[in-house]
Structure 1
């Protein structure tokens, strides 16, 4: 419900920006996505998938702006691709779509005002808050299964469909033609969940699971060898409290400048 309300707000801002003829800036994003968690614990630049998005920004000044954005991306991980033998023995895998609505503040290092300022570019940094919807799945014997309802770690109830996350990152923007801008940014999101990948804590007692697919997908270590390592209570995940996903790519946007502000600024 919260995701839907935020998406509606973003849509209304995008379609009504024309009535605010001063410093509104709609734009689009395209790039790559990846994640850090139980399948990637050490590489903050492991981008495996794609992401796209749209945003609307209000520029309070040449230094500070607020941005409301929607981003769609996908993430994935597989123990079979790991260089770590212990993870290959675990033999788990997942993939998930991410739907994120975010509100961030953006701070320019230089006085950046397209069409007004002589400074045509600026590095920037950003931080804020977001809501992300996720739904980890896996492929088993040629079929795709949604992992949340299977409670693969013996949870009493399913973990939520959405989580709060904290976006932060850096980038650079260029005013390449009149009011048109190009940007390059790298951002990370610390999610307040450890289940983006359906892996978090310990192996559950398979005998307590009433679903055969829950039992099969909770411990996949013996699918090739016939020897299963997931004894009840042994460690299944990295035991961290939060997963992280990252998004990097290019933006293109158009800044609506008030006709009342013709003064060139430095």
Structure 2
């Protein structure tokens, strides 16, 4: 005769199991990265660079989850491609790698999962906090320059902007549970950066006369030079950026994730 404890253990292995929503997910992401700021004020949808990432997510139930993610991509802009004559005359450009780590809270609008009554597809929203590194560069006269090192807006050494900052991600998407273990999600998110120097441009041309490479990087305008031009002594200090206090970068992409499920005894 089989004892009750042995019978219960046997049922655990042979009987049906229940998938609980309190599970872990590992994901990989791919998509595009875009930038909006002093050198691209209008076309926030211009996703012109690749971005890749990974994530670990804890699902607390069918609605709420907490995600730790990393993302690596690139942002760039060039005044020469602008639709506006004043931007093309300014003639600035930059590119920068973005390396981001984020802690995100995610909310599903539908009870998401494979249990009875749950939905296999749901829209979702997310927000949280990100820390990211950047380093704006430009290619000029056959050389690559790290723009921060040249204090292009007249910063002193102690006032040079930092290349590590924070941002507030805000975004939305749609996810679908393919089967018990695989999920696919499409998302779009803004990152409002806590810096205005993602592109090395913020406010005004410097109020000091530069020379050499430093001057050439600070003022690459196609028209009248704005740094120390004797014919225009009052031109220094005029507007260089758009005077908005912060830059923004964006990510849109697809995430494929693997859910770790656990087998539990059926409830009687």
Structures share fold, TM-score greater than 0.5:
yes
1:168 to 161, 164, 170: 170
Q: Secondary structure at the match of 1:47?
A: coil
Deviations 1:174-229 (A, max 9, x none): 1112210001000010000000000001000342x4x622211000013xx5x324
Distance of 2:104 and 2:146 partners within structure 1: 31
Which string of whole-angstrom CA distances, capped at 9 and with x for unpartnered residues, describes residues 51-100 of structure 1? 00000000011000000000001000000000100000100000000000
**Cα distance between partner residues in 2 of 1:141 and 1:262:** 71
Among 221, 225, 249, the residue aligned to 1:228: 225
Residue in 2 that maps onto 1:194 = 196
> Is 1:252 aligned to residue 256 of structure 2?
yes
Which of the pair has more CA radius of gyration? 2
Q: Structure 2 CA distance, aligned partners of 1:136 and 1:87?
A: 18
Residue 6 of structure 1 aligns with which residue? Answer: none
1:185 aligns with 2:187: yes
Distance 2:265 2:84 in 1: 59
Say which SS state the counterpart of residue 48 (structure 2) adopts: strand
Given that residues 32 and 247 in structure 1 are in contact (C-alpha distance below 8 angstroms), is that contact kept between their aligned partners in structure 2?
yes
Query: Do the aligned partners of residues 261 and 63 (structure 1) sit closer, same or farther apart at CA in structure 2, a change above 3 Å counting?
Result: farther
Contact persistence 1:114–1:255 (CA under 8 A): no
Aligned length: 238
Shift of 1:158: 1.7
CA contact (8 A) 1:206 1:215 kept: no
Distance 2:51 2:150 in 1: 27
SS of 2:31 mapped into structure 1 = strand
What SS does the aligned partner of 1:177 have? coil
CA distance in 2 between partners of 1:49 and 1:135 (Å)? 16
**Alpha-carbon separation, structure 2, partners of 1:261 and 1:139:** 63
Which residue of structure 1 aligns with residue 153 of structure 2? 153
Return the offset for 1:107.
Answer: 0.2
What secondary structure sits across from 2:38 in the alignment? coil
CA distance in 2, matches of 1:147, 1:237: 15
Indicate the residue corresponding to 1:49 in structure 2: 49
When the two chains are superposed, the root-mean-square deviation of aligned CA atoms in Å is: 1.8
Aligned-partner SS, 2:50: strand
1:49-88 → structure 2 map (5 Å cutoff): 49-88=49-88
Report the Cα distance in structure 2 between the residues aligned to 1:250 and 1:235, rounded to whole angstroms: 39
Counterpart-to-counterpart distance in 2, 1:221 and 1:123: 46
Which digits, 9 at most, give the CA deviation of each residue in 1:222-253, with x for residues without a partner? 3xx5x324531100000111000000000000
